[in-house]
Structure 1
Amino acid sequence: MTHPTRTARILILGGSLAGTLAAAALAPHAAEVLILERDRGLPNLAVPRPRLPQAAHAHMLWAGGADAIESLLPGTTDAWLKAGAHRIPIPSGMVSFSAAGWYRRWTETHYLIGASRDLIDWGVRTAALAIPNISVRTGITVTALTGNASRVSGVRVRDENHEESELTADLVIDATGRDSKAPQWLTAVGGPTIPETIVDAGVRYASRRYRAPEGAESDWPVIHIQADPREGRPGQVVSIISIEDGQWHVSLSGTRGGEPSADEALFEDFARNVRHPLAADFLARAEPISDVVVYSRTANRRRQYEKAAMPAGLVVIGDAATSLNPVYGHGMSAAALGAVALRDTAAKVHVTTARFAAQAQKAVARPAAAAWLLAVGQDRFYPGTIGKAPTVADKIAARYVHRLSHTAIGNFLVVRALTDVMTMKKPATVLGAPDVLLAAVRGLRRPLLEGPQLTPRERRILNGEPLRSEELTGN
C-alpha cells in the first residue's frame, strides 16, 4: 500500500539508534520526520556521544539486526566495512565456551558485525540524515505530551535557552531510552498506567580496548566465555570482539556478588578466573590502550504499552519500552527489527489514522519480547536476582535449552536452529520444530570437545611471549 500524498508530520523523540532507524522506516510515509535530540549536537564522525555511556562496552550486532538495518538503509553495511568494521562469520568465527562445553566451529550459517557502537551509530545516522525529509533539532528536551487520553497531538519542549514551546504532530515516536518519561507523560494527559516488569541480576560491566597482537588485527574470531546459571554462583562472562583500527574491544561482566572491578590491575585477573582462562591468555599478548570503564544500568525492564489502552498518535520503541541486560547483545537488533515492524505497519495502515499507533505498538513489541525472553531466561537463575522468580515452566524451558546447547556441540542442525534464534533471524518457536525436538532426544552425535578449536594462526599467537609478567596475568 503506497501513499502518494504524504502530509504527515512525525516527531521522533531521541536521536538514538532506535530513533534514527524509526525515522528511516517512516520517512516514506510522511512529509516531515523531525528528530528531537537532547544533546547539543550529533557527531559527524564515529566518536562517543555524552548520553550513550554503554557505547564504551563491546557490542554485537547480530545478523538479524544487521540485515534489518540494511533493508531500511541500503549500503550501511558497506559503509561500516569500509570504515574498518568486520563481518565475522558465525559459528566458524566464534570460539565459545558455553554452559554445555566448547562449541565446534561449524561452517558459516550466520554472521555478526564487529565494530564499536560509535561506528555503528555513525553509519546509521549518516545514512538516515541523508534522506531529504528527515531533519534533527538538537539541544531540545521534551517535557510533556500534548493532547488527551484519546489522542496525542504533539509534545512540549524546552530549548537550550530554557524557552518552552509546543510542537504538533500526527505521530509521536518515543525513543528516549531507559530514562523515558512516557509513563508519567501519559498519566498527565489522562492516559493509562503501563504494566512494568523488572528482572535485575545486578550485572556490572567493565570494558577496555586493546591493540590486537600482530597478525590478529582482522579475520579474528569472537572469544566468548559464558557463565553457567546452573552453578548457583554469580555469572561471570568475558568477550573479545574485533573492531576497527586493529583493536579488540574487551568486556567483562558479572552478576550480583561477582561484579568486575574498575581497577586496571584486576582486569585480566577477572578474565582469568571465569570458567576458562582462554580470553585472559590472549589478552596477556595484547596491549591495553584505554582505561577501564564500568557500567551498571543493566536491569531488564519491560513496559508493555501494547497491553494498555494507549492514545492514538503515540508509539514507544527501543529501550524506552524494553531495555535489556546488554550481555546478550540483542538491544540493537531488537531496535532494528522494531523499526522494520514500524515500516511494515505503515505500509498497511496510514500513519495518520487512529489505529496505526495500536497496531504499530503490537508489531514492535514482538521482536522486543523475543529478546526479553532470551535475556530473562538466563538472568532469573542467578543468585540475588531481583524480580519474578523462575516458574516451573521457566525451569523446564531452561533445561530444554541447556539440552539443546549440549546437543549442539555435536549436531549441526541444532547449531543452526540455536543460531537462528540467537542472531534474531528467526523466532524461538523454531526450537520446538519436530526435527529439533528429535535431535534433542537423540543427544550428541559427536563427542564433547576437550578444549577450544583454534586455528594454527590463533595457536601461534597464543604461544607467543606474553607482554605482561606471569604475576600480572595470574599464571
Structure 2
Amino acid sequence: MSEHRPTAVVLGGSLAGLLAARALADGGARVTVVERDALPDAPVPRKGLPQARHVHQLWSGGARALEELVPGAIGRLRAAGVSRVPMTTDMVALSPYGWYRRWAESAFMLPASRDLLDWVVRRLVLADGRIELVEGAEATGLTGTCGAVTGVRIRAHDGTERALTAGLVVDATGRGSRAPHWLAGLGLPAAERRDVDSGLVYASRLYRAPEAARAGFPIVNIEPDPRGAGSGRGGVLMPVEDGKWIVTLFGGRGDEPPAGAGEFERYARQELRHPLIGELLGGGAEPLGEVAVTRSTANRRHFFERMAVWPENFVVLGDAVCALNPVYGHGMAVAARSASALRDVVRRRGLGSRGLAREAQKAVGRTVRAAWDLAVGADVFYPGATGQGPTVRDRVLAAYVGRLLRTATGNGRIARRVTDVTALERGAEALLAPSVVVAAVAGPLKPALAAPPLTVSERRAAGL
C-alpha cells in the first residue's frame, strides 16, 4: 500500500463499522478498524452482540446498498441458505387494522441469522488489503480540537494505550457510543437528542421447522397495537437458513414475554392478538436451545447534523446516531445506506477536503429519517414512551399513517407503496403523493380478511 494514501480509523467492527471501512477504502483510504472484542472466524455468536439471537432481516433498500459496497455479499448469503422473500407475497401479517393480503412483489427481504450475515460481510471486508483490524482495544477519546479531530486514543485489554492519527475518524460503536461525551470534551455543545422508549421486551427462541415447512414457508408477523389492549404484545416467526425458524415474541410494560421455555409457546398461543405463531410451533417445530431475552429496544436519535458547529474529520453513523426499536427491522438496512452515503460524499469531495465531515454527517442524517419517523410514529403512543407524550407532529403523522395501513389491507397499490417505504426503497415523501393521499381518504377497496392468508399447502406443511 502506498504511504501517500490518506488514513482513516473506524471505531467498531460490527456491521456498520465494517461497511463504513469498505466505504472509506473505496474512497482511497487506508483504514484501521478498532474493535473491542475478538471477532470469530465462523458464523457463531460473539461477545458484544447479544441481540443476535433475535429476529433479523435485511430490507431490500439495505440489501442493495450492501451489495454495492461489498459485491458478492448477497450471493454468499444465498449460497448459505438465506432466502429472498418477496414482499408482501411471502408474508402473513396481522396489522392493527386487520390481515394484510399477499400482494404481488414490490420490495424484498433477506431473513438471516445475525451471526451468518456478520460473518459473510466480515470475511469479504477484511479480505480487502486496504483494511486492517485491531481487536481487543477500545477508544477512550478523540484527539484534536473543536475545529478538527486529528485521531483517537485507544486502550488495549492489557491496559496499554496509544494514539492513532487519522485524516478521518468514524464512530460506529453502536448504542453505547461515547461520541456526545467526546464532543463535549472538545468544547462543543450537546447535540439535540430524542428518546422514545416503547418499553418493549423481546424473548426469542430457535426452532427446527417441521420437515415439510423447511423451504418456502412465509414469514409470519403478528404486529403489536400500541394503542390497543395488551400493550405491545406481538411476535414474528422468521424462517432462516438450515431449515430453522427464529421466533421472537414481544410485549410492553406489564405484558413482557416469558423468559422460561415452558411459558414461551403458551404466550405465543394465548397472549398475542392471534394464536397463529403458537399454533405453528405446536405443529411439529422442535425447540433448539433456551429463550433469549433483551430489553434494549428504545429508539434514540442524536441530531448531530443540526449542530451549528461540527469538527472536521469526524463522522458518526449506525446505532451511534440512530438506534431503533428492533421490531421494525431497520437497523442493518440503515447502517448499509449510511455507509453508502458516506462513500458517495468521500468520492465526491475527496478525503481531507474541508467540510467533508459535516456534509457526510448531514447525509447520514438523511438516511435515517424515514426509519426514525416510522419507528417513533408508532412507539411514541406506548404508555410512558416519552416524558411529554406525543407531539402534535407525532399525532398528525400517526393518524395519516394509520389511514394508509388500513387502506393497505385492501388496496394492493397502496400496500406496495407502503412496503417500498418500509423497505427503504423509497423515501417517506412517496407516501405524500396526491394519488396516495386520495387513496388513504377513500380507504380499502377490498373487504377485511377473516383469517390469516395461508395457503392450503402451507397449512399442511406446518401441521395445521
Q: Give TM class, smaller chain.
A: over 0.9
Aligned residues of 1:234 and 1:254 also touching (Cα < 8 A): yes
Further displaced range: 26-35 or 275-284:
26-35
Aligned residues of 1:37 and 1:136 also touching (Cα < 8 A): yes
- Alpha-carbon distance between aligned partners in 1 of 2:373 and 2:442, rounded to the nearest angstrom: 26
How far off its partner does 1:463 sit? 4.2
- Alpha-carbon distance between aligned partners in 2 of 1:387 and 1:261, rounded to the nearest angstrom: 27
Cα RMSD of the aligned pairs, angstroms, is 1.4
- Alpha-carbon distance between aligned partners in 2 of 1:352 and 1:324, rounded to the nearest angstrom: 31
Query: 1:15-34 residue pairs with structure 2 within 5 A?
Result: 15-34=13-32
Question: CA deviation digits over 1:99-135, x for unaligned, max 9?
Answer: 1101111112111011100111111111111222011
Question: CA deviation digits over 1:152-211, x for unaligned, max 9?
Answer: 000111112211111100000000111111111112222332221111111111000000
- Alpha-carbon distance between aligned partners in 2 of 1:322 and 1:296, rounded to the nearest angstrom: 17
Cα distance 1:71–1:31, how it changes in 2: closer, same or farther (>3 A)?
closer
One-letter amino acid of the counterpart of residue 94, structure 1: M
How far off its partner does 1:38 sit? 0.6
How far off its partner does 1:385 sit? 1.8
Per the alignment, residue 275 of structure 1 pairs with 273
Unaligned 5+ runs, structure 1: 465-475
Aligned residues of 1:229 and 1:235 also touching (Cα < 8 A): yes
Per the alignment, residue 88 of structure 1 pairs with 85
How far off its partner does 1:387 sit? 4.0
Per the alignment, residue 118 of structure 2 pairs with 121
Cα distance 1:387–1:7, how it changes in 2: closer, same or farther (>3 A)?
farther
Query: 1:422-461 residue pairs with structure 2 within 5 A?
Result: 422-461=422-461
Question: CA deviation digits over 1:326-376, x for unaligned, max 9?
Answer: 111100111111011001111211121220000000001112122111111
Per the alignment, residue 313 of structure 1 pairs with 313
Query: 1:229-268 residue pairs with structure 2 within 5 A?
Result: 229-231=226-228, 233-268=230-265
Query: 1:107-256 residue pairs with structure 2 within 5 A?
Result: 107-231=104-228, 233-256=230-253
How far off its partner does 1:249 sit? 0.5
Question: CA deviation digits over 1:448-474, x for unaligned, max 9?
Answer: 11111111221113445xxxxxxxxxx
Per the alignment, residue 294 of structure 1 pairs with 293
- Alpha-carbon distance between aligned partners in 1 of 2:140 and 2:293, rounded to the nearest angstrom: 30
- Alpha-carbon distance between aligned partners in 2 of 1:123 and 1:64, rounded to the nearest angstrom: 18
- Alpha-carbon distance between aligned partners in 1 of 2:297 and 2:78, rounded to the nearest angstrom: 29
Structure 2 SS opposite 1:245: helix
Q: Percent identity?
A: 48
Structure 2 SS opposite 1:142: strand
Cα distance 1:443–1:136, how it changes in 2: closer, same or farther (>3 A)?
same
**Is 1:366 the counterpart of 2:366 in the alignment?**
yes
One-letter amino acid of the counterpart of residue 110, structure 1: A
How far off its partner does 1:258 sit? 1.4
Aligned residues of 2:9 and 2:32 also touching (Cα < 8 A): yes
How far off its partner does 1:96 sit? 0.2
- Alpha-carbon distance between aligned partners in 2 of 1:311 and 1:421, rounded to the nearest angstrom: 33
Query: 1:376-391 residue pairs with structure 2 within 5 A?
Result: 376-391=376-391
Per the alignment, residue 327 of structure 2 pairs with 327
- Alpha-carbon distance between aligned partners in 2 of 1:31 and 1:224, rounded to the nearest angstrom: 42
Further displaced range: 268-277 or 169-178:
268-277
One-letter amino acid of the counterpart of residue 117, structure 1: R
TM-score by length of 1: 0.94
The number of aligned residues is 460
Structure 1 SS opposite 2:327: helix
Structure 2 SS opposite 1:259: coil
**Is 1:61 the counterpart of 2:76 in the alignment?**
no
- Alpha-carbon distance between aligned partners in 1 of 2:178 and 2:392, rounded to the nearest angstrom: 34
Aligned residues of 2:212 and 2:462 also touching (Cα < 8 A): no
**Is 1:14 the counterpart of 2:1 in the alignment?**
no
Structure 1 SS opposite 2:86: strand
One-letter amino acid of the counterpart of residue 68, structure 2: S
Question: CA deviation digits over 1:235-272, x for unaligned, max 9?
Answer: 11100001111100010111222111211111112212
Further displaced range: 202-211 or 394-403:
394-403
Cα distance 1:282–1:233, how it changes in 2: closer, same or farther (>3 A)?
closer
- Alpha-carbon distance between aligned partners in 2 of 1:316 and 1:70, rounded to the nearest angstrom: 22
- Alpha-carbon distance between aligned partners in 2 of 1:127 and 1:401, rounded to the nearest angstrom: 39
Structure 2 SS opposite 1:74: coil
Cα distance 1:331–1:31, how it changes in 2: closer, same or farther (>3 A)?
closer
Question: CA deviation digits over 1:51-94, x for unaligned, max 9?
Answer: 00010101121111111101111110010011111111110110
Query: 1:87-106 residue pairs with structure 2 within 5 A?
Result: 87-106=84-103
Aligned residues of 1:233 and 1:383 also touching (Cα < 8 A): no
Per the alignment, residue 467 of structure 1 pairs with none
Aligned residues of 1:224 and 1:240 also touching (Cα < 8 A): yes
Aligned residues of 1:198 and 1:387 also touching (Cα < 8 A): no
Cα distance 1:307–1:5, how it changes in 2: closer, same or farther (>3 A)?
farther
One-letter amino acid of the counterpart of residue 143, structure 1: T
Cα distance 1:387–1:323, how it changes in 2: closer, same or farther (>3 A)?
farther
One-letter amino acid of the counterpart of residue 101, structure 1: G
Structure 1 SS opposite 2:56: coil
Deviating beyond 3 angstroms after TM superposition, the runs of 4 or more aligned structure 1 residues are 461-464
Structure 1 SS opposite 2:273: coil
Structure 2 SS opposite 1:398: helix
TM-score by length of 2: 0.97
Structure 2 SS opposite 1:348: helix
- Alpha-carbon distance between aligned partners in 1 of 2:92 and 2:387, rounded to the nearest angstrom: 32
